[in-house]
A and B are shown apart, each in its own frame.
Chain A
């Protein structure tokens, strides 16, 4: 990592450009509301992270270099203490094209409760339960910007494995996930070259995206295996071909959102979808508050066999923006499994500024799942409240 940074600095100094150093650092305290299910787990968990960012541009801004590092130290979980290069990217901008080479992050999709279409980056699952933190993905990405939409081509030469909480961490399955010994369908293992293409366009009130991905699936199956008499879960990364569609439509104060995928794997093919709306009312009750209502339905054709909780679930939520100087927002959500009344997730995410550089964040999650086959079963006693302070520099 040091050499990359050094290299970036050298390039920048050669170009005679200035280097912009920014980033953030934070302190997080989790408190779990119930005693742990598994031995060795504690109720308190303190953690720190730093995310420095270096940026420089040259060639009159047509070229830029970006480095974004990430490091976390966790009091309890050695698997959660980790380092990552989130971005190390050279961007070249042409008249109607852009070329990104290096490590980067890409987001595809429109919905809030589930991100089905978004498959380029691996999830950094030890970071947050909402699975929105991602590991840096090596790529070459060419985007062609035309009147009829933007078409992006991706070549992804290296695969990143998903992170999992270790034995001392909470929010984990009953057994160890043996991240040191992953299984791959492809004999090229993590060196399998994946590729993808995406087209997206805005047609008046509609934002539409179509995508295709061929390569290693980002979410592993967890395979039960015997490791010297100890049962462990080994992540298995299969190959997949996924076609995705994402649509957003603006209808007055309503945003209609949809994502659907068709995925072909070794075990057959299936469809999954998520769709719903967000309705926002500004200045409620003669205040300056914005009040939003969200509802999304999640469907997975694999039904009970789906290794995800989202096979037939409904998410309802509300988003409150205080529109104050501190930028205070609160998001409250609840996801109910429609097949099993005992299976649900609830969450609150609130944040606000203390000063121009410091922000607090409060996250609270509760999980319920009484059936052993429910993906929530293993974390049913991991309800927690997390308070974070983040400093931006």
Chain B
């Protein structure tokens, strides 16, 4: 019987392979890029909410550095972009300042800033998404949640980065007010996690490179980098974002992400 089975398999295998191969051939680079983005989003569905203590280390080209401390609360929103609340602890003069963001896939995000000294909630014109976040190399739009609809995609190639096989995919922002003409992301084929993203400015020149380190898995499913560094290729400045501790499904709800919650954020 054995030889027969082998024969069967050896007959079928090339057929199957050719099927798979032709399928890949039929898929355009755009379709494959979109499929990768969808899979990346799908694998990260259902995380619920998170809370984390974060540090941002801002470095100048001359090696001076300063630390920002903040707490970040996030809420997954199905059928729309996620909600985020960031409360600043350091530097001390902005302690208690809180930033509320409702991301949307296609519409501009809704954003508010709470200024504790004045007890005032100020709306932010969110079209200005390309502006720097707290003097860092991260722009406001880099802090927004990843939504499939935000970009047009093109699969470029497979590449090995740090020993892992990656998809290299080009993202072109749909929003014409984005600060970027395109982004190129390296996404690992095993878990669809971004490891490196190149940001190109509106003139098409390389502006920034984001590198993610120390991915950790939560709830046996969701991967989060413990460290991410944004390096500005044009100025030599960089910002390192460090996650000190992160907890999932802490019971946050919509009411923790409204303007009232901003005012009592501490």
Contact = CB atoms under 8 A, between A and B. Distances in A.
7 contacts: A282-B131, A283-B130, A324-B135, A326-B135, A327-B91, A327-B94, A353-B93
Interface stretch (B11-19, B27-35, B121-129, B223-231): B121-129
Interface residues of A, number: 47
A356 B118 CA distance: 21
Given A250-B108, A325-B60, A357-B93, 19 more contacts: A24-B92, A24-B93, A105-B119, A202-B259, A204-B110, A250-B123, A252-B108, A252-B125, A252-B127, A253-B128, A255-B125, A282-B179, A288-B131, A288-B132, A290-B131, A323-B132, A327-B93, A356-B92, A392-B91
Interface in B141-173: none
B90 interface: yes
Given A106-B119, A132-B118, A323-B135, A250 B125 contact: yes
Interface stretch (A89-97, A159-167, A213-221, A227-235): A89-97
B236 to A, nearest CB: 14
A145 B120 CA distance: 18
Nearest to A109: B120
Interface string B55-98: 00010100010110000000000000000000000111111000
A392 B260 contact: no
A282 B141 CA distance: 13
A202 to B, nearest CB: 7
A282 B91 CA distance: 23
Contacts of B95: 22, 392
Given A283-B130, A283-B179, A323-B132, A143 B91 contact: no
B131 A253 contact: no
A22 B264 contact: no
A204 B107 CA distance: 10
Interface string A344-369: 00000000010011010000000000
Given A96-B255, A253-B125, A283 B131 contact: yes
Contacts of A278: 125
A362 to B, nearest CB: 15
A92 to B, nearest CB: 11
Contacts of B66: 325, 356
Given A280-B125, A325-B60, A392-B93, A107 B131 contact: no
B135 A359 contact: no
A126 B71 CA distance: 36
Contact of B125 (A93, A254, A326): A254
Contacts of B94: 327
Contacts of A281: 128
Given A95-B255, A202-B110, A357 B91 contact: yes
A107 B266 contact: no
A64 B132 CA distance: 34
B53 interface: no
B258 interface: yes
A55 interface: yes
A264 B209 CA distance: 60
